[in-house]
Amino acid sequence: MKALWDNEYLYVYGEVKDAELDNTSTQAHEVDSLEVFIDENNAKADSYQDDDKQYRISYENAQSFNGPKCTADNVISAARITEDGYV
């Protein structure tokens, strides 16, 4: 994974090696996906706070979120299957 940022965005790129991609679960966190967690106030708390966000992008580019301020309006994503996984 690689991450960059500017004054407007956080950019994340990941290469996932996985020979058996799976999206059969009804639970988003159990589907093959890339997850990004953000702790805006850097509190490193033991549990989620209002500023914490969890973005999940599946290998099929399905988005899911966790956190009170974590919404689809905050993310632009793309995904592509490769010979040995996905990006």
Segment 1-5 mean pLDDT = 96
* 75 and 63 Cβ atoms separated by less than 8 Å: yes
Q: What is the mean pLDDT of the chain?
A: 94
48-75 pLDDT, tens digit each: 899 999 999 999 999 999 988 888 999 9
pLDDT at 69: 86
Indicate whether this model's pTM tops 0.85.
yes
